[in-house]
Amino acid sequence: MLNRIKKLKNIFEQKFSDTGLIAGMFAAPGRVNIIGEHTDYNDGFVLPVAINRNIIMAAQLRTDKKIKIYSEEFDQKLEFDLNNISRNEKNSWSNYILGVIKEFQKRGKKLQGINIAFTGDIPIGSGLSSSAALEVAAAVTIANMHNINITKVKLALLCKRAENDFVGVASGIMDQYISALGQKNRALFIDCKSNQFEAIPFVTDTYKIVMCDTRVKRKLVDSEYNQRRKECKEAVLFYKENLRSNINSLRDVNKEEMEKTYDQLFNYSAPVAKRARHVITENIRVKKSVEALREKDFVKLGKLMNQSHSSLSNDFEVSCKELDLIVELARGIKGTIGARMTGAGFGGVTVNLVHRDYLEKFKKIVRAGYEKKVGKKPYIYISDPENGAKSLKEFGENDEY
């Protein structure tokens, strides 16, 4: 990261003149969800980790009310007025930062003008949550520069509001929580109903988290995602009528109840019955995964990840041939103890647990096998669970935010 920090400092100096006011640098990571897919909007459980890819942001206060933002990735410098923040339809990347600024303003914070430059190495649009990282990096930057005392939980909730209300994506809390609250060698067990979380030790010298990016554009994802949400709601209505009136989400239905009524629901709608079965069993798998981590039983965790993929592919039907191919190739390699798609599906990334002695073999076989059938190589990233958002006080010195 040191080189990127130096590079960003140079960029900042080229793009902006020194105002002499408070300056600083901050970073917020992307994430991968180890298990717990399509459970967040069903009031369920997720188990993400922060990864070693970040948005890094350099900033300095200004004496006026202007906000100037430079994105290295888009090579664009935009200017806004603090007194008149509205959505930018043309340069949508800026909305993640503007939305965060707006949220601070909504909370009555008097902000000063600010110059911002940022860069990042989280691939955009592949399901590693570069957008939440950008929001969290912006929030940490704004809070620090203005001496605003805010807990990490409140900061993550503020970013979620920015995403829901300003950017306009009805996401859950997972991405902003893990980017703000991630911890080195820990996964975050999040209850998406209560927003409570617990950092679970994810300690292993033997296994690495490997992400494989299919590089498939997630074409169907929006319509299919909304369709799945609708089907889950339909299942809740069915259970409410046929089981108990106090069922308000799939979280409230246990496995026995689901199995007892499976045929009845299947006769009403086969997809709805299958979606419900995925969510209800996935919540159980997340809780078992937490147990596995507490027991340091990574083989057990890997098996649960494999089961999660089958359930997402067969019952929730959000996988695609490229994801299934990478999962199949990965599973064929000795040293892979778990492989599954992660994120919304229809493309994006898989997450794997791979023995460190087999990493090179893994990369070689997955790249070659995928290229042979799909015509391009997948991108492969390797990470341990990392810390969440932090201040980069000085070059190379990583202080916890």
Q: x/- contact string, 339-378, with ligand NG1 (CB under 6 A)?
A: ----xx---x------------------------------
Could you tell me how far CA 92 lies from the centroid of its own chain?
19
Residue from 27, 28, 37, 329 binding ligand NG1 (CB under 6 A) = 37
- Which of left, alpha, beta for 209 (phi over 0: left; psi -120 to 50: alpha)? beta
- Least separation in angstroms between residue 155's CB and ligand NG1 is 18
- Choosing from 40, 43, 175, 213, the catalytic residue is 175
**Lookup result for tokens 């997720």:** 46
Which range binds ligand NG1 by CB under 6 A, 11-19, 32-40, 98-106, 278-286?
Answer: 32-40
Residue 29 interacting with ligand NG1 (CB under 6 A): no
Q: Does 161 bind ligand NG1 (CB under 6 A)?
A: no
| DSSP code string of 48-94 | EEEEEEEEEEEEEE-SSSEEEEEETTTTEEEEEETTS----SSSGGG
Q: Is 213 a catalytic residue?
A: no
Give the residue at shortest CB distance from ligand NG1.
Answer: 343
Distance in angstroms (rounded) separating the CA atoms of residues 71 and 120: 9
Question: What binding mask, one character per residue, do residues 72-111 give for ligand NG1 by CB under 6 A, x or -?
Answer: ----------------------------------------
Residue position matching structure tokens 């929001």: 135
329 near ligand NG1, judged by CB under 6 A: no
**Are the beta carbons of 159 and 144 closer than 8 angstroms?**
no
CB of 381 to ligand NG1, least distance (A): 14
Q: Which stretch binds ligand NG1 (CB under 6 A): 2-10, 34-42, 109-117, 332-340?
A: 34-42
Angle (CA) 336 211 37, round 5°: 95
**Which is nearer to ligand NG1, 25 or 280 (by Cβ)?**
280
Q: Residue 292, CB half-sphere, CA atoms under 13 Å: how many?
A: 20
- Output the six-digit token pair for 165: 């209300």
171 binds ligand NG1 (CB under 6 A): yes
User: Among residues 149, 122, 143, which one has the least CA distance to residue 134?
Assistant: 122
Report the length, in residues, of the chain: 401
- Asked whether the beta carbons of 335 and 302 are under 8 A apart, the reply is no
The residue among 85, 76, 77 whose CA lies nearest residue 111 is: 85
Contact pattern from residue 122 through residue 151 relative to ligand NG1, giving x for each residue in contact according to CB under 6 A and a dash for the rest: -----x-x----------------------
List active site positions: 175
Which residues are near ligand NG1 by CB under 6 A? Answer: 37-38, 40-41, 127, 129, 169, 171-172, 174, 343-344, 348
